[in-house]
Chain A
Amino acid sequence: MFKKDDQSYNLSEVEADAGGEEAQTVIAAGVRVDGNFNSRGDVLIEGVVKGSVKTDKNLKIGEKAKIYAAVSAINVFVAGEAQGNIKATGRLELSSTARIFGDVEVKTLVVEAGAVLNGKCTMIGVESPRADADELKDIGKIKNAKDKE
């Protein structure tokens, strides 16, 4: 998906791809987007985005990217800085250079050593173990009572 080969496309090659799957939107370094950015295809961000980013597919936030936005996508790969809440219905992958300041809602979370995640993390599809928590509380109470005795 996010291959980085230095292959320069000519018109015929580019057009040979036409009719395939949804195109990839690229926000390169030096470009700033303000507002609600919606896309149907993959999105690669290397620049600056303020507002919100929403895509029906995958999102990659590059190493030099800065995002001040709420993000929603299926799979999110973060290598840069993101300030705002992130919702990934699939997988959220944080590389060692990732810096996230906001709440995260994901199904699968992959964190590399060195990544920064400041915010609440909620896993989609996992029920909160309340019963277990209650049991632990009870155990705590018993322990406290015994200690007092």
Chain B
Amino acid sequence: MQKTKNDGGENLPQKVRPKAVRITLEEARGATSARRKEGAQKTAARRVSEPAYSYIYDTFIQEMKYLKLLRELENRLVDLGIGGRVHRLSCFKNLQEIIKDDVVREVKTVVIVGNDESFIRAIDALGETGVVAGFIPIGGEKENQLAKIFGIGFGAVACDVLSARLLRKIDLGVVNGHHFLTNIDIPAANFFLECDGRYNLSFLKSADVRICNLTGQAESGERAIRVLNHSDGFLETIVYSKSRGFLDGVKEIFKKEEGVEKLSIFYNKKVNVVGSAPFVAWIDGRKVFNKKLEISILPGGLKMIVGRSRTI
């Protein structure tokens, strides 16, 4: 505090204002850029601390019989330098939420440790995120058909595949706003298909329909003429016309109509399945009950680590 003389000659205390610091525009810019640099460094440091890999263990893996296998896998992952955050699923943890959190934390790779069912459950959250998906199959070959398709071996071999990081973009299907990976099976019912908004498919006989993205094996014993491609940007619609009644079935057995195709195949980007009443559909092996399915394809929607022995 300073005392200064005023006009009246009285000594009154007066507040001293701090001297205004004049800075040039260039100096201000310099300060801003310095602050920005500091922020970027902090973010980078945070990123370094956040592991690039996230492993999600399905609930069944936490059984005692898999304990030894898991230890082996974890050791191998650490040896390969691709260890990361581990999430163990339980009835209180939502797989979708975990993946969304990982995406927010900028995790680069999310690895699902489980079987086909575990991986398929994760697909809805993994699609369109840009996060690379990995898969470590656990269990028998029957529960791990996807592992064979992706060329991922069991046990430590799967860790080596992850480490090699051979990436492939795979098309994803979208049905009523949710992603699916393999196919949609619709048993014969009262419905028709709107294909690409250009033409409609209806059935003179009862017919099973399969809309395929990744796999499209015709299980009818008929020949599937065509080619199934995981990255062609098309959905394959396979229609298997069945015999209408008992007599037709008997006729088919005794009098084979040779040279008549029963398996129809179409290639579409968008298919709407419209039923006059709700019908059953199996999406990636999960049963749904709906009156309309809006199905489309998302080309390259999933980035996936695959092995060299893949079949796609």
- Which positions in A face B, CB cutoff 8 Å? 4-12, 14-15, 17-20, 23-39, 41, 44, 46-48, 51, 62-64
Contacts and interface: CB of A to CB of B under 8 A. Distances in A.
* Interface residues on chain B, size class: 35 or more
B262 interface: yes
A25 B236 CA distance: 10
A36 B259 CA distance: 26
Nearest to B224: A9
B241 to A, nearest CB: 3
Contacts of A35: 198-200
Given A15-B312, A23-B226, A38-B198, A30 B265 contact: no
A31 B259 contact: no
Closest 6 CB pairs between A and B? A35-B199, A30-B241, A30-B205, A28-B261, A28-B264, A23-B226
Interface string B243-272: 000000000000000111111111100000
**Is the contact region of chain B dominated by helix, strand, or loop, or is it mixed?**
loop
A58 to B, nearest CB: 13
Contact of B227 (A18, A46, A62): A18
Given A28-B262, A44-B261, A6 B267 contact: no
B227 A4 contact: no
11 contacts: A15-B228, A26-B265, A30-B204, A31-B207, A31-B241, A33-B200, A34-B202, A35-B200, A39-B267, A41-B267, A47-B204
A30 B215 contact: no
Contacts of B216: 14
Best-buried of A5, A9, A63, A64 by chain B (most CB within 10 Å): A9
B201 A31 contact: yes
Nearest to B234: A23
Nearest to A29: B260
B132 to A, nearest CB: 23
B16 interface: no
Contacts of A14: 216-217, 224, 226-228
Contacts of B230: 18
Best-buried of A7, A32, A48 by chain B (most CB within 10 Å): A32
